[in-house]
């Protein structure tokens, strides 16, 4: 995503890191960037900036280097049953059905509202470590972002809607043509 000045960022869940924290790969071999805008406006997201970022997301398993281009972003729809998530712990899982656009969760005394609620009866849900990963729909040319995973259990997942991220952080999606 990018702000109005054209600066590009990655997004992750706001409970993952602290403001101004430098984020590394697990091997500590590479720097992803530095955190800003942590939990701004009551949404559980934060930006990682300071490096080169492209409009792609990882797909496949946790060891996969396969990416697909981001083609756009928008709102999720209740009843649609083929949303995907991609995270560090479980990799890509698809077949998630959105059941509500007004979910609420409370963690450590802080409540988040207006979340996308989703479930998947056939495949596993995202787990701890997947937070901040994209919640999206795929088609042949790429992915369309609908939100970012922030919490869940064995049966239900929650995602901050893309529309809330865009309006609260004043960012737009970075699209990729390939």
Segment 15-21 shows an average pLDDT of 78
- Tracing tokens 């939100």 back to the chain, one arrives at 147
Instruction: Report the run of H or E that residue 95 belongs to, with start and end.
Output: strand 91-107
The span from the CA of 38 to the CA of 42, in Å, is 9
Give me the chain's average pLDDT, please: 85
CB distance 152 to 126 below 8 Å:
yes
Q: What angle do CA 102, 9, 147 make, to 5 degrees?
A: 20
Structure token digits, residue 56: 């792609």
Quick one: pLDDT at residue 39? 66
**Strand order across the beta sheet in which 31-36 lies:** 9-13, 45-49, 31-36, 22-24
Instruction: Report the 10 Å Cβ neighbour count for 145.
Output: 24
Instruction: Look at residue 16 and tell me whether its pLDDT is greater than 80.
Output: no
Residue 76 CA: distances (Å) to CA of 69, 102, 117: 19, 11, 10
pLDDT digits (tens, 9 = 90+) for 112-121: 899 999 997 6
pLDDT at 5 over 80: yes
pTM: 0.86
What's the mean pLDDT in 136-144? Answer: 92
Residue 14 pLDDT exceeds 90 = no
Q: Is the pLDDT of residue 68 over 70?
A: yes
For residue range 34-53, what is the model confidence (pLDDT) as tens digits? Answer: 888 776 667 888 888 898 88
* DSSP letter, residue 168: H
Quote the CA–CA distance of 126 and 91 in Å, as a whole number. Answer: 8
Q: What would the two tokens of residue 44 be?
A: 């559980």
Domains of the chain: 2-54 (no CATH), 56-162 (2.40.10.10)
pLDDT for residue 125: 66
Highest mean pLDDT among 15-19, 149-153, 169-173: 169-173
For residue 134, what are its two tokens?
């994209």
Give backbone dihedrals phi and psi of 142, rounded to 5 degrees, phi first.
165, -155
């Amino acid at each position: 995503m990018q702000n109005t000045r054209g600066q590009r960022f990655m997004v992750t869940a706001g409970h993952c890191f602290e403001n101004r924290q430098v984020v590394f790969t697990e091997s500590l071999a590479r720097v992803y960037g530095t955190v800003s805008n942590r939990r701004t406006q009551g949404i559980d997201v934060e930006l990682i900036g300071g490096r080169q970022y492209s409009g792609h997301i990882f797909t496949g398993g946790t060891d996969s280097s396969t990416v697909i281009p981001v083609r756009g972003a928008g709102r999720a729809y209740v009843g649609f049953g083929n949303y995907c998530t991609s995270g560090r712990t479980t990799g890509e899982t698809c077949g998630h059905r959105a059941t509500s656009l007004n979910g609420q969760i409370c963690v450590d005394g802080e409540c988040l509202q207006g979340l996308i609620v989703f479930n998947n009866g056939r495949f596993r849900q995202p787990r701890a470590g997947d937070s901040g990963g994209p919640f999206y729909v795929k088609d042949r040319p790429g992915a369309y972002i609908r939100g970012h995973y922030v919490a869940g259990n064995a049966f239900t997942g929650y995602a901050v809607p893309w529309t809330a991220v865009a309006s609260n952080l004043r960012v737009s999606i970075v699209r990729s043509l390939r």
